Amino acid sequence: MPLRGHLGELRRRVVLAGLGILVGAVIGWFFYDPVFEALQMPIIEASKARDAIVSINFSGLATAIDMQVKVSFFLGVLISSPWWLYQLWAFINPGLNHKEKVRTYGFLAAAVPLFLAGATFAALVLPNAVRVLTEFTPKGATNLIDAQTYLSFVMRFMLAFGVAFLLPVIMVALTLGGVVRARTWARGWRWAILLSFVFAAVMTPTPDVLSMILLAVPICGLYFLALGIGLVHDRRVERRRAATTAAPDDL
């Protein structure tokens, strides 16, 4: 496919993914109240723990409605994750045949739970992160957290965890699609471990090392699992090619 064709296909997949997120955002609009209560709970718990005023502050006239729109789109990303993940796979492997369609189902079956697992893991870590960060507030001071700032922090936090858990699936997709050889992933395993621990250190603002290790180890494990799947796939491809090449010589 020429470059123009790839760009056209990319534009089509992005539009389809965006429409899916938009539909998910409409659904998420009706779940705003319970979701906002859940997002606000770490702030309430931090306020009780410090016995001080720690609260979300809506500083502008339109801040409340703006936050509801952003939360709705954030929920749309989560709700429509099977759809936009499929668009990602379809772009990597255009013109899917029957065998590749079966791989697509396997890709979605692994990618969606892993993405949601990463976001869920972030939600579990979030209260501890909020507690640690609010402890830096001086005694006697009031911590009024801007609603937009807090929401941006939560969204980046959860999406970063979701994407981190999704990267090994993307590795497998690129390997099965013939874009990247498994040997390339194998040569970068040291960097993968280093970046996993750096990511865990940055995304877990708690001072203890255990939280960092609990996040980094699953990411490293998923990386090596994806590497193993890629190596098995490449060996099968090499054997198939060797058998195809040897067949004419036997005639």
The phi, psi pair for 143, rounded to 5°, reads -110, 95
Flag whether 248 is in a domain.
Answer: no
Flag whether 210 is in a domain.
Answer: yes
Flag whether 247 is in a domain.
Answer: no
Give me the pLDDT at residue 24, please: 92
Flag whether 40 is in a domain.
Answer: yes
Mean pLDDT, consecutive 10-residue segments, the chain of 251 residues? 69 88 93 87 82 81 86 88 79 64 72 83 81 78 83 81 82 78 86 87 68 80 87 83 67 50
Give me the pLDDT at residue 38, please: 85
Give me the pLDDT at residue 21, please: 92
Whether the CB-CB separation of 184 and 230 falls below 8 Å is answered with: no
Whether the CB-CB separation of 74 and 28 falls below 8 Å is answered with: yes
Flag whether 251 is in a domain.
Answer: no
Domain that holds residue 180: 3-242
Q: Can you tell me the distance from the alpha carbon of 120 to that of 136, in angstroms, rounded to the nearest whole number?
A: 26
CA distances (Å), 236 to each of 37, 41, 90, 190, 241, in order? 51, 51, 23, 26, 9
Q: Can you tell me the distance from the alpha carbon of 8 to that of 145, in angstroms, rounded to the nearest whole number?
A: 43
DSSP 99-135: HHHHHHHHHHHHHHHHHHHHHHHHHHHHHHHHHHHHT
Flag whether 57 is in a domain.
Answer: yes
Flag whether 156 is in a domain.
Answer: yes
Residue carrying structure tokens 């922090």: 153
pTM greater than the 0.85 cutoff: no
Q: Which of 132, 122, 127 is nearest to 156 (CA)?
A: 122
Amino acid identity, residue 45?
A: E
Give me the pLDDT at residue 22, please: 93
Flag whether 250 is in a domain.
Answer: no
- Domain count along the chain: 1
